[in-house]
Amino acid sequence: MIARIGARLDRDEQGSTLLLTIFYCFLGLSLVLVVISATSLYLDRKRLFTLADGAALAAAEAWSLDTVQLDGDRLSLELDPAEVSAAAGAYLGDAVHGLRDVELVRATSDDGQSATVTIRAVWYAPIHTELLPVSVPIEVTATARSVFH
State pLDDT tens for residues 21-61. Answer: 999 999 999 899 889 989 999 999 999 999 999 999 999 98
Position 19 scores a pLDDT of 86
d(CA 102, CA 57): 18
β-pairing verdict for 103-108 and 74-77: unpaired
Smallest CA-to-CA distance from 127 within 25, 28, 39, 33 is with 33
Contact by Cβ (8 Å): 138, 45: yes
Higher-scoring residue by pLDDT: 109, 5: 109
